[in-house]
Amino acid sequence: MAQETKTRDKAGDSEYTAVGKPTIRIEGVGKVTGQTKFADDLTFPHMLHAKVLGSPHAHARVKSVDTADARQHPGVEAVIAAADLPAYKMNPSNRRGVIFAVDEVLFQGQPIAAVLASDPHVAEEALALIKVEYEPLTAVTDPISAMEDGSPLVRSAISDVDRSEEKGHVTIDVEQEEAEGAPSNIASKINFSRGDVEAGFAEADCVVEQTWRSAMVHQSYIEPHATIADFDNSGELSVWTSTQAPFYVRDELCQTLGIHESKIRVTATEVGGGFGGKIFLTELITAALAIVVKRPVKYIMSRKEDMLAATPAPFAQVELKTGMKADGTLVALKARLIYDSGAFPGAPVMPGCLFVGGYYKCPNLHIEGFEVLTNKVSVGALRAPGAHNATHAIESHMDIMARELGLDPLEARMKNAVEEGDPLPSGQPYPRIGLKDCLRAISESDVWKRRREVEGQANRGVGVAIGGWIGGLQPASAIVGLNGDGTIDVTVGSADISGTNTSFQQIAAEVLNVPLSSVNVTTGDTKTAPYAGMSAGSKTTYTVGKAVKLAAEDAKRQMLDIAAQRFEASPDELSVADGKVHLDGDDDKVLTFARLGKMTTNFGARFAPVVGRGTMSTRKSAPGFSAQAAEVEIDPDTGAITVLGYAIVQDAGFAINPLSVEGQMQGGASQGLGIALSEEMKFDEEGRLLNANLLDYRLPTTRDLPPIETIIVEVPSEEGPYGARIIGEPSIVPGGATIANAVADAIGVRVTDIPITPERVLRALGKL
């Protein structure tokens, strides 16, 4: 396929009839009417509600758990502590392998025991009656001092770290060194080197060295974690859960509870926001409780529990030194990245290390990454996990160096931007990518063009930054069937978290040349749906979409075969249009899909049913890049920041549904803006979270976000359906740096920590 790039206009002109057109969501009516069922909207006969007691301490020894009084509480059906759990394969080195803390609690909110009752209020009241005796231990909260020799330990030594979940988000062949030797809080290290950094710095005309910090942030999906589980006497476990990863949940439950995968049915209910945070969390505990009581059990996390004990994204410190020649060539990069993993391993330091040195060609680099344990909730994935922390650093440096050398910040980036064939710090070459196209497009955005006007205006500034993500890879499959009435059913196993089922509808409609209204798409449960990887790592359209295309092509082939037999013609002479198979050149030889449906499903029908099958696996990723620009105004006396304008450009490869692609871009950008401006989980010295609610943990509101200017560019990927590439994640990556650069442009000084709060602005201005 020849490389062609275009910037898409709103109408989505293309040679196709279904793909590439703005398409309204297949499940839209259910959602606007409130008829869509989320996990908490489901109830079952004899269902019990679970409430979970979390540790008030961040680090303590659990000396005893006394549930006697709670059991006596009227209305309580069961109280379950560690000792009452069914046998399971406990793995203390893994968050996913521990249901209730046994001897040692490692973070505030870690589950200790649960109460079950028909009335959730009763269960909650009884929680207060569980008596736990703790012996508080030193809470290690600062990852930087936790790295030092002699730091108190976060926990007893661990082994067997399982990184399977991370691999779903970013798939790349890099080995992480698990820490060995004397017990330490460093869980793993990573190292990338190329060329000779010191020689590179010697060559540079401008060298910048700075330490950057980015706060621990929470995915803050509006629907908290929600799961229902049921276990019957035949040994079959059913789970309805708000997850991005039904098959992963099944696999984990199989391994931990020792139930065959064939005996587990996981139904991914509609996900009320996931962003990487809804992979596997409440499923194991809920399943274990259901196994004990043999009744359906519902566990809905309260917002507070979700803030305390889900899987937020890490704090990171990035120490970066970069060197540039006067002509703008980046010649050396040295970085040390420290990611706070919380109480269990799993921090995304590897992608951080890849991206800190992965956006620009740089002959000499040395990158070291550390994953450090602390007594905080253990982290998980948030949209392009680990990338924004590193991007904040490198993209701030690009601006600082360009400014010092008197270069245009976009040109400095353009000069060094990676292209197809350039290596990541790990050595892997990039496939075809659209970074330069994004840079060109952002220079055309209204926000960036306002730079000239804003220049010289006090306390106003415009900034730009880029970011990218490689994406995950997992095999996928899909089934496309022809119904008796000629309509088409697409069945997939991927949870629809971003409008993917609508894209699948478009793909099947395109292949079969039928109106969208003839195609429906279902996410099946793990027993009925064909396998798909987790809806994470932005890969769902790229992989499952490809499988749907193959399945639709297979179904089409089968239909043509039947029609060919019927018309005594060759399939090559046939084509499909308007829900009919036509014999080319003979207007009388038509077979409607409805007729074909009957011919393959009726009593005594001559032909077998049409069931198209698509399976795929690829090792080739389709990285996505985004460039963003912001215009801000600062109140120099209060430090308040107002975002006056924001623009995002992203390479979508091919936007199958421009409406969803824009939505993903705007949504990711808004999360990046939250990271940039207001989101921060704050802990006290004992490791207790100080802002476990959505008033003090500040997601951007409408008052904080202007309309976002949205520009799609399309550099087709090599293997994605119609050239589509990963979409969901790149949009969150540049926000922190974009705002940091705009703020620096406005006030002339740098705020090195994100979020850039008013207080930090005033400190940078020397007013505090």
Catalytic residues: 729
Nearer Cβ to ligand FES, position 102 or 694?
694
Residue of 13, 24, 164, 177 that binds other proteins (CB under 8 A): 24
The answer to whether 264 and 232 are in contact (CB under 8 A) is no
Of 681, 704, 17, the closest CA to residue 309 belongs to: 681
User: What are the DSSP calls for 10-40, one per residue?
Assistant: TT---S-SSTTS----TTHHHHHHT-SPBGG
The single residue among 15, 603, 695, 766 that binds other proteins, judged by CB under 8 A, is 695
Cα gap 622→537, rounded to integer Å: 11
Tokens of 733: 């990556």
Each residue 85-124 as x (binds other proteins by CB under 8 A) or -, in order, gives ------------------------------------x--x
Binding span for other proteins by CB under 8 A among 151-159, 416-424, 685-693, 745-753: 685-693
Q: At 385, which amino acid appears?
A: P
757 binds, among ligand FES, other proteins, none (CB under 5 to 8 A by kind): other proteins
The site partner of 707 among other proteins, ligand FES, none (C-beta below 5 to 8 Å per kind) is other proteins
Residue 491 or 678 with smaller CB distance to ligand FES: 678
Partner whose footprint covers residue 37, from other proteins, ligand FES, none (CB < 5 to 8 Å by kind): other proteins
Contact indicator for 425, 353 with CB cutoff of 8 Å:
yes
d(CA 573, CA 566): 13
Distance CA 28, CA 206 (A): 53
What's the min distance (Å) between Cβ of 638 and other proteins? 5
Tell me which of 322, 445, 498, 501 binds other proteins, using CB under 8 A. Answer: 498
Residue list 192-251, contact with other proteins (CB under 8 A): 219-224
* CB of 693 vs ligand FES, minimal distance in Å: 10
| Count of CB atoms situated within 10 Å of the CB of 180 | 8
Supply the minimum distance, in Å, between the C-beta of residue 273 and ligand FES. 5
Residue 700 Cβ vs ligand FES, minimum distance, rounded to whole Å: 12
Does 271 sit near other proteins (CB under 8 A)? yes
* Interaction between residue 682 and other proteins (CB under 8 A): yes
Question: What separation in angstroms does the CA of 288 have from each of 80, 256, 294, 428, 559?
Answer: 10, 10, 10, 42, 47
Helix axes 387-405, 349-356, angle to 10 degrees: 20
Q: Segment near other proteins (CB under 8 A), from 334-342, 523-531, 739-747, 760-768?
A: 760-768
Interface region with other proteins, contact rule CB under 8 A, candidates 184-192, 248-256, 283-291, 752-760? 752-760
Cα–Cα distance for residue pair 241/283, rounded to 1 Å: 7
User: In this chain, which of 275, 430, 448, 469 binds other proteins, going by CB under 8 A?
Assistant: 275
- Are the C-beta atoms of residues 286 and 229 closer than 8 Å to each other? yes
Kindly tell me which residue out of 659, 686, 718, 752 binds other proteins, with binding defined by CB under 8 A: 659
| Distance of closest approach, residue 709 Cβ to other proteins, in angstroms | 9
Count the residues of the shown chain that bind ligand FES, applying the rule CB under 6 A: 2
CB neighbour list of residue 588: distance below 8 Å, 6 or more residues apart: none
Q: How far is the CB of 534 from ligand FES (least distance, A)?
A: 19
Q: In terms of CB distance, is 322 or 503 closer to ligand FES?
A: 503
Task: Pick one of other proteins, ligand FES, none as the site partner of residue 663 (Cβ within 5 to 8 A by kind).
Answer: other proteins
* Rounded distance between C-alpha atoms, residue 626 and residue 445, angstroms: 13
Q: Which residues pair with 709 in a beta bridge?
A: 647
Question: Given its phi and psi angles, is residue 235 left (phi above 0), alpha (psi -120 to 50 degrees) or beta?
Answer: left
* Binding partner selected for residue 547 from ligand FES, other proteins, none, CB under the kind-specific 5 to 8 Å limit: none
Dist CA 96 CA 228 (whole Å): 18
Q: Which of 489, 663, 750, 752 binds other proteins (CB under 8 A)?
A: 663
What, of ligand FES, other proteins, none, does residue 6 touch, CB below 5 to 8 Å by kind? Answer: none
Of residues 35 through 64, those in contact with other proteins by CB under 8 A are: 35-38, 40-41
Contact 726, 542 (CB under 8 A): yes
Separation between Cα atoms, residue 641 and residue 756, nearest integer Å: 9
Considering beta carbons, is residue 181 or 707 the nearer one to other proteins? 707
CA distance readout (Å), 169 to 105, 245, 641, 706 = 28, 11, 33, 30
In the complex, minimum distance from the CB of residue 223 to ligand FES, in angstroms, rounded to a whole number: 8
For the chain, what's the residue count? 768
One DSSP character per residue, 198-230 reads HHHHHH-SEEEEEEEEE--B----SSPPEEEEE
Which of 79, 550 has the CB closer to other proteins?
Answer: 79
String marking each residue 217-236 x if it binds ligand FES according to CB under 6 A: -----x--------------
Cβ distance 733 to 352 under 8 Å? no
Q: Which residue is nearest to ligand FES (CB)?
A: 222
The sign of the torsion formed by the CA atoms of 494, 499, 503, 505 equals: positive
28 binds, among ligand FES, other proteins, none (CB under 5 to 8 A by kind): other proteins
Residues 554-573 that bind other proteins (CB under 8 A): none
Sheet-wide strand order for 586-592? 574-577, 580-583, 586-592
Separation between Cα atoms, residue 674 and residue 672, nearest integer Å: 5
* Residue placing its CB nearer to other proteins in the complex, 749 or 768: 768
Q: Does 640 bind other proteins (CB under 8 A)?
A: yes
Stretch of 131-139, 168-176, 245-253, 269-277 lying at the interface with other proteins (CB under 8 A): 269-277
Nearest one of 459, 467, 424 to 442, comparing CA atoms: 467
When asked if residue 678 is in the footprint of other proteins (CB under 8 A), the reply is: yes
| Pairing state between β 264-268 and 237-241 | parallel
Q: Which of 421, 557, 696, 749 binds other proteins (CB under 8 A)?
A: 696
From the CB of 221, what's the least distance to ligand FES, in Å? 7
- Residue with smaller CB distance to ligand FES, 141 or 671: 671
- Determine if 30 is a binding residue for other proteins (CB under 8 A): yes
Is residue 273 at the binding interface for ligand FES, with CB under 6 A as the rule?
A: yes
* Omega before residue 609 within 30° of 0, cis: no
Q: Using CB under 8 A, which residues numbered 504 to 533 contact other proteins?
A: none
Nearer to ligand FES, 92 or 312 (CB): 312
- CB nearer ligand FES, residue 227 or residue 660: 660
- The Cβ-side half-sphere exposure at 645, using a 13 Å CA radius, reads 18
By CB under 6 A, name the binding residues for ligand FES. Answer: 222, 273
